[in-house]
Structure 1
């Protein structure tokens, strides 16, 4: 048998291994049935949900969803500098590298080795009966212990690594959606606190003016000390509210800077909620199947597929492992003759290991089956949690309009009551206590209206987020 024939056999064996390498013993994957209703909840809390006229939330880029330019700048800074997002991206790179390592196990590892030896052989050990010095030089190139994946063990491990990589990439996309939504929520919260701060300062000015007027009346005996003390309490309360909202606005800026990973310039910050472009309206459509496109649901499904692939690797452990070691080289007793014609060498060493009994193999197989059931349960839990999040967002959306209308009417009614109470006090018809009650009611109603307007903005953000908003978009800042 010459070297050319052996090379031909090695080539054919390699082709056979490649052809069989695509076969695995993993069970066929079937997506589990969705554990939630096919349609969204209905009832008094839910508006009739019609399919969105525009593109689905998953296909709606965040720039279109958030039309306010200052907010867009803040989001851009966050996408560029967020450490959380950077960690998510690094996890993806690590998972991709691990997948490549596992994938490359299917390929033979080629090595080149050179060696040289020179030794003194005593006369009593020499075949010639004389003391000799022996030299040997060798250069080899070949494959050391290449496992031929007849039963798909390495292929299954490669498939598992691929699914884990894809799951990590979906986790990155989910982190991006969460980052955009959190930046928007904090940005609008800062706007609401800024509006409440403006309201508190205006209230303080009004209360201070009222106090000064009552103080003049008290000095001339036209107002009682009780009215003066009551007016003072209103001034102090307004001063406290100004301090509180000043604090909250500063903390909102700190939270925004943390999310953004860098200080957000003042020109990109809102001063109050009024006049800000709201987020775009999105619709959940009619079917809950949109949940299957959420990044966290897709990540759970990829982990489930990885568990299926792991079963294939465990099953393959019951079958023989075939490995191959082969080298081609040259050897000589004289270094100068190492590469001359006729000095070629070769080795060919196939090996087969047949498992007879190993209790650990059966236990490992049982582990993979349980892990698959765990992955199925987690996948179903993720869908159920997603369904609940969307249903809650739709319930808020269905009732928020009525709440806003009622609160706006309440503000108008309390403002009128305050004007009437103040007029009655000026004419001496009623006590200052009625004015105080009307002022408190008006201030509380105005605060509640701002809170509801903020909730209207954040509810749109929440619905966009829980529907997987922008999940088909590459969020990375360019």
Structure 2
């Protein structure tokens, strides 16, 4: 009597196949939050919460001895934590490190293991003995393939090129970090200077308005002419225009600082009109930054990350030349395998 397939195993197999076909191993794409305010008020600020710096950013900022202002150090720490360009540079380092690991692995044999098992059953109607037969077979194999004998240094040079590219990416990150610190300090100081100019423009407007009021009273009493009154009014309007211009410039500076930091900067860390000077006001000396020692040795240029990055790039290109020259010679690759299989059929 012929056997029929039972519906339960068939249904289970179909369900399992459909479930596996519906699996998706791709990561879910999520748009990262952008440092853009939800709304813009009259002052250009928003209700977005201020960003916080991590410990790594704080440690780097505290090591900057030439930065004398604590608020500026905290703003630099915020930028080191949230700046997008610096994040890209860090991810490029991880990519170069992974590529270096892949290239280094080619210096060693590649091992492949394989284990196979099969089991079959023949129907009694197809057997010469009239009985159903079950046969099974197990095979195990271990091999290493394409192990190249590095006689001409091709693999070694490729590994050296990958190493130099990894070191170059690290220097590129340092270059981005140094440039970011300089840009943040420059933007913060520019905002402080424009705040001082805005305060001066407001004081000028206030004094000219008082002078205009006095001139207007004198004009009512006939003590001065209308020409003098018009001239005083023109100076008031000029001062009012300066206040509007510097107000817009201050807001532009704040937006530039937010863009560099990568998030909203707390108001307590923003500079004020008297931030650049000491307690004695405008007669004091700037205290935000430390004066550079004079003279500076020219050897400091050797530590610039862009120069070191170019040097690593030159070494990587030299290693690639060596690998290209080695490719002109014959390559010897070794392949070996060992395996065992069951004798039962």
TM range (shorter): 0.7 to 0.9
Alignment match, 1:296? 306
Is there any run of 5+ residues in structure 1 with no aligned partner, and where? Answer: 1-59, 121-132, 336-478
Q: Secondary structure at the match of 2:190?
A: helix
Q: Secondary structure at the match of 2:65?
A: helix
Q: Does 1:323 align with 2:325?
A: no
Alignment match, 1:357? none
Q: Does 1:179 align with 2:180?
A: yes
Alignment match, 1:376? none
Q: Does 1:86 align with 2:96?
A: no
Once the two structures are superposed, the pairs formed by residues 298-317 of structure 1 within 5 Å of their partners are 298-317=308-327
Q: Secondary structure at the match of 1:328?
A: strand
Alignment match, 1:202? 203
Alignment match, 1:342? none
CA contact (8 A) 1:134 1:333 kept: no
Q: Does 1:70 align with 2:71?
A: yes
Distance 1:254 1:165 in 2: 35
1:86-145 Cα offsets, whole Å, 9 max, x none, are 11100111111111110111011111112356899xxxxxxxxxxxx9975421012022
TM-score (structure 1 length as normaliser): 0.53
Structure 1 residues 247 and 286: CA distance shift in structure 2, 3 A: closer
CA contact (8 A) 1:190 1:252 kept: yes
Distance 2:262 2:247 in 1: 23
Once the two structures are superposed, the pairs formed by residues 356-367 of structure 1 within 5 Å of their partners are none
TM-score (structure 2 length as normaliser): 0.72
Distance 1:195 1:100 in 2: 53
Alignment match, 2:129? none
Q: Does 1:152 align with 2:157?
A: no
1:194-236 Cα offsets, whole Å, 9 max, x none, are 1011100100011001111110111111111110110011000
CA contact (8 A) 1:146 1:324 kept: yes
Q: Secondary structure at the match of 1:106?
A: coil
Q: Does 1:274 align with 2:274?
A: no
Once the two structures are superposed, the pairs formed by residues 50-449 of structure 1 within 5 Å of their partners are 63-116=64-117, 137-272=138-273, 273-275=276-278, 277-283=287-293, 285=295, 287-334=297-344
Structure 1 residues 134 and 321: CA distance shift in structure 2, 3 A: farther
Q: Secondary structure at the match of 2:106?
A: helix
Between 1:236-245 and 1:134-143, the stretch displaced more is 134-143
Greater helix fraction, Structure 1 or Structure 2: 1
1:12-65 Cα offsets, whole Å, 9 max, x none, are xxxxxxxxxxxxxxxxxxxxxxxxxxxxxxxxxxxxxxxxxxxxxxxx975311
Q: Secondary structure at the match of 1:147?
A: strand
Query: Alpha-carbon deviation of 1:274?
Result: 3.2
Structure 1 residues 97 and 285: CA distance shift in structure 2, 3 A: farther
Alignment match, 1:27? none
Q: Secondary structure at the match of 1:214?
A: helix
Query: Alpha-carbon deviation of 1:287?
Result: 4.5
Structure 1 residues 291 and 279: CA distance shift in structure 2, 3 A: same
Structure 1 residues 284 and 314: CA distance shift in structure 2, 3 A: farther
Alignment match, 1:361? none
Q: Secondary structure at the match of 1:64?
A: coil
Distance 1:257 1:71 in 2: 13
Query: Alpha-carbon deviation of 1:166?
Result: 0.5
Runs of 4+ in 1 over 4 A off after TM superposition: 116-120, 133-136, 284-287
Distance 2:233 2:248 in 1: 23
Matched length: 265
Distance 2:322 2:119 in 1: 50
CA contact (8 A) 1:135 1:333 kept: no
Is there any run of 5+ residues in structure 2 with no aligned partner, and where? Answer: 1-60, 122-133, 279-285
